[in-house]
Amino acid sequence: MPSLEWARRIGLLLIALAVFPAAAQRRADGPAQLSVIDVKEPNGQILSYRFLGVSTDVRMRGTRRAPEARARLKIGSRPGFVEIDINRGGIAGLEPARRFGKDFLTYVLWAVSVDGRAANLGEITFDGQNPISVNVTTPYQTFWLMVTAEPDYAVADPSPLVTLYSAGESAPDAQGKGALAIRRPLFYYTHYPVYDASAAAAAEAGPNELLQARKAVELASKAGVLSAKHGSLSKEEQQTREALDLAKAFLAQAETAYQKDPKGNDVVQFARTAAQIAENARALAMGAVGGVLIRRLEGELQALQSELGRLRSDAEKLPADPAKTPPQKGTGEPSAAEPEASGIGDKVAALASQPIAWFGLIGWIVVVLLLFRRRSA
């Protein structure tokens, strides 16, 4: 009858509304979505560097988080790349990154394209309290620069904690050979929008490179698919977990080397290798690179579709007309319809055990009420 068919469709719709949000809830601790970070600071500037043009002096200004920080650098175009040079003393007022929280141990220089893609140019290292000179290159021709506080030198995406940004009045010289200023808002994308900014309980022992390696392994272990329980893994997921295991092995070697000789070169070598591999694993797990996350989500979607298909099949097995259901025999044995109804009840109970699944349970209640109404009619 039309009323019964309508009731079935309503029930299935409500079940679907319950199943998919419940799955989303189960992934609440999963990978972060791609976030856009707006750098709302005055006089932000993007420069386009003419091919083989004259070098341009660029000024970087401290953000509200680091108002005393500043930097001056020279940028010039070369065949196939743009060269960025920060001389010794070119950076000033940049305090240790630890002051921003327990997850921050160093600074990284980034080139950010006009469309918001940030490329890691390298770490800003210190000799005591003095930053060491930096000479790096980028394939970008048009970009702006920023410095962010980071957990380690090898991060694939920047944190939201910007300390320095390009801000100046650079313009072409009288012959028009310099860089061309482009007035557009400064923004960038990142898969890493959340870090722990609380103060560390106590300073850890070890050189900064070793601290970075520890932090890189810690963050990777809690990232995306790497934080999930082991189960059926795709080839990509298995390789990502193997990368994390390799990072842990190099970290263990760094720790051993540190115990033998705290000032030995092996400590830095093993630690930086551990940080690099751990960050590669985190980038894969969070979807910053590769397709591990996409294939993981595709697998979850397929599982949800299969679950919904089973529920639909069970709903279609309900008798079209309850009045025509064969009466039970007096033997005390359950009819053939009872196990089927019991199975459906178990599925409804399982869904109803999650608060977000009550809509599905209500759908089945509507179906049952309509069935009783038809029987009484």
- Output the 3-class SS for 32-92: CCCEEEECCCCCECEEECCCCCCCEEEEEEECCCCCCCEEEEEEEEECCEEEEEECCCCEE
pLDDT confidence of residue 212 = 97
pLDDT confidence of residue 182 = 87
pLDDT confidence of 169, banded at 50, 70, 90? low
State the Cα–Cα distance between residues 44 and 169, nearest whole angstrom.
10
- Tell me if 64 sits within 8 A of 35, measured CB to CB: no
Global confidence as pTM: 0.70
93-102, 109-118, 339-348: least confident range: 339-348
In the predicted structure, residue 250 carries a pLDDT above the cut 80: yes
pLDDT confidence of 306, banded at 50, 70, 90? low
> CA dihedral in degrees (279, 155, 224, 103; nearest 10)?
100
Going by DSSP bridges, is the β-strand pair 187-190/81-86 parallel, antiparallel, or unpaired?
A: unpaired
pLDDT confidence of 16, banded at 50, 70, 90? very low
Cα atoms in the Cβ-side hemisphere of radius 13 Å centred on 254: 26
Q: What is the pLDDT of residues 311-353, one digit of tens each?
A: 777 776 666 555 555 555 554 554 444 444 445 455 545 544 5
192-201, 280-289, 317-326: least confident range: 317-326
pLDDT confidence of residue 298 = 54
pLDDT confidence of residue 336 = 47
85-89, 123-127, 156-160, 360-364: least confident range: 360-364
| DSSP track, 181-238 | EE----EEEES------SPPSSPPSS-HHHHHHHHHHHHHHTSGGGGSPP-S--HHHH
State the Cα–Cα distance between residues 286 and 149, nearest whole angstrom.
20
pLDDT confidence of residue 22 = 40
For the domain with range 35-190, which CATH number is right: 1.20.58, 1.20.120, 3.30.310, 2.60.40? 2.60.40
Distance set, CA 323 to CA 87, 211, 330, 345, 371 (Å): 89, 73, 19, 20, 9
In the predicted structure, residue 67 carries a pLDDT above the cut 70: yes
In the predicted structure, residue 114 carries a pLDDT above the cut 90: yes
Average pLDDT of the chain to the nearest whole number: 77
Ordered by start, the domain boundaries in the chain are 2-26+294-322+337-376, 35-190, 208-286
Of the chain, the percentage scoring pLDDT greater than 70 comes to 65
In the predicted structure, residue 223 carries a pLDDT above the cut 80: yes
